[in-house]
Amino acid sequence: MIDFELTDEQQLIRETAADFANREIIPVARENDRAHRFDTELVAKMADMGYLGAIVSEQYGGRGLDYLSYGLIVEEVGRGDSSARTVVSVQTSLVCSSIERWGTEEQKHEWLPKLCSGEALGCFGLTEPNTGSDAANLSTRAKKTSDGWTISGQKQWISMGNHAKLALIFAQTDPKLGHRGLAAFLVPTDSDGFSSSEIHGKLGLHSSDTAELALDEVAVGDEALLGEIGDGFKVAMSALDSGRFSVASGCVGICQGCVDASVDYAKQREQFDRPIAGFQLVQAMLADMVVDTHAARGLVWKAGWLKDRGKPNTLETSVAKLYASEAAIRTANTAIQVHGGAGYVDDHPVERYLRDARVTTLYEGTSQIQKLIIGRSVTGINAMV
């Protein structure tokens, strides 16, 4: 049976998130973008809505929602502002999900309530200056001490790295073991030897905090280890299964925002004595945008449906992330075309949509990595070795 009908609860969650985006996110998005401001008040409001721990169990302070509902929330937040959406994606999918899935009861009770309530922000420290797609090849080292570990290395492109109280840090414990030597650590960012600095000059996501992290002999106890030694790569990959779904959901929001803005504009903008919405070539652009939006949303919902049933979904998540991120760029680009010169300045949201969409085919696995995952899945041949 295929059923595209949302439950009453999912419908309510969607409407509430849309209303939240309209009231709290969209009115401040342009000013935050211009000011390059990481909006901590908005983060607190999203936390109050339960959006930082939507899929976390209620016993740990989350809302215990299903993935489809989470995707609906992330779509609406992404329609509002991808920088705000990045907060939700990183906090919920990369950090909270990893702790809930791999953590001990002590770790879950210590961190999840604070993360869900927004008392603490978390960041995901996988990528390094010389390690992006080849995620197993980390330079950051963790050395065993008598009562814990010392971690040294650098992390790059870390969303929320300057605001986070907790960093999920991936490090190599034994280079001879390759990906089976990796471990994940819950590192408080006020630890001695931990520092962060802001990365400037980004094309988009101006109101998202993006950091470089440096760990200089940071000492943590044994209780900081998340999962077992050697589980680090699996922790990262399982986090990205959730994170890629979240990015894809946010991209559907960009697509929908572009359609909404373009339809409105095309109906009120007049040329040759009639609204440009009456021109076939404008309608063709709108139609392309609508098709991309529907297709992306359908793929995201399918991935969420599989997650909610506990079925394997790495392939479907990569398909959704690849399609939705590329669709967001196409749609935002077309939306600017519909707006003409007006779309090139920030009186309308579409130029920000394009700038913010651009990163989504890069982070949480490039489009090329998604294609290699999809290609391996259908051929059984690993093109990455």
| Residues that are catalytic | 364
Q: Binding residues for ligand COS, how many (CB under 6 A)?
A: 21
Does 101 contact ligand COS by CB under 6 A? Answer: no
Q: Binding ligand COS by CB under 6 A: which of 30, 101, 179, 371?
A: 179
Which of 26, 237, 290, 315 touches ligand COS by CB under 6 A? 237
CA 249 – CA 242 distance, rounded (Å): 11
Q: Which stretch binds ligand COS (CB under 6 A): 32-40, 103-111, 131-139, 341-349?
A: 131-139
Q: Assess 263 for contact with ligand COS (CB under 6 A).
A: no
Question: 3-class SS at 255?
Answer: helix
List for the chain the helix, strand, coil content (%; round to 5): 60, 15, 25
Closest CA to 89 of 170, 263, 261, 205: 205
Minimum CB–partner distance for residue 358 and ligand COS (Å): 14
Residues contacting 94, CB < 8 A, separation 6+: 122, 124, 168, 239, 240, 242, 243
d(CA 250, CA 109): 29
Cβ neighbour number for residue 92 with a 10 Å cutoff: 26
Angle of helix 350-357 relative to helix 314-339, nearest 10 degrees? 150
Q: Which is nearer to ligand COS, 82 or 127 (CB)?
A: 127
| Ramachandran area for residue 16 (φ above 0: left; ψ -120 to 50: alpha; else beta) | alpha
Residue from 101, 114, 165, 180 in contact with ligand COS (CB under 6 A): 180
Buried b (16+ CB within 10 A) or exposed e, 28-49: bbbebbeeebbbeebbebbbeb
We find the least distance from the C-beta atom of residue 354 to ligand COS, in angstroms, to be 20
Task: State the nearest-atom distance from the C-beta of 279 to ligand COS, in Å.
Answer: 41
Name beta bridge partners: 168. Answer: 124, 186
The answer to the question of residue 150 lying near ligand COS (CB under 6 A) is: no
Give the residue with the Cβ less far from ligand COS, 111 or 233. Answer: 233
Asked if 147 and 221 touch (Cβ cutoff 8 Å), the reply is yes
Binding-site member from 24, 76, 351, 364 for ligand COS (CB under 6 A): 364
Q: Which of residues 197-236 bind ligand COS (CB under 6 A)?
A: 233-234
CB 179 within 8 A of CB 97: no
- Which residue in the set 126, 167, 183, 286 belongs to the binding site for ligand COS (CB under 6 A)? 126
Scanning residues 290 to 319, which ones bind ligand COS (CB under 6 A)?
314
Binding test (CB under 6 A) with ligand COS, winner from 135, 164, 224, 306? 135
**What angle separates helix 232-268 from helix 350-357, to the nearest 10 degrees?**
160
CB of 254 to ligand COS, least distance (A): 18
Convert residues 239-258 into a mask of x (bound to ligand COS by CB under 6 A) and - (unbound): -xx-----------------
CB of 231 to ligand COS, least distance (A): 9
Q: Who contacts 12 (Cβ-Cβ below 8 Å, separation ≥6)? A: none
Q: Is there binding between residue 345 and ligand COS (CB under 6 A)?
A: no
In the complex, least distance from residue 158 CB atom to ligand COS, rounded to whole angstroms: 8
Applying CB under 6 A, does 139 fall inside the site for ligand COS?
A: no
Q: Is 102 in the site for ligand COS (CB under 6 A)?
A: no
Q: Phi and psi dihedrals of 320, rounded to 5?
A: -65, -45
Nearer to ligand COS, 10 or 154 (CB): 154
Distance in angstroms (rounded) separating the CA atoms of residues 70 and 133: 26
- For residue 202, count other CB atoms closer than 10 A to its CB: 15
> Nearest distance from residue 198's CB to ligand COS, in Å?
17
**90 near ligand COS (CB under 6 A):** no
Binding site for ligand COS (CB under 6 A): 126-127, 133, 135-136, 179-180, 233-234, 237-238, 240-241, 314, 363-365, 369, 373, 382, 384
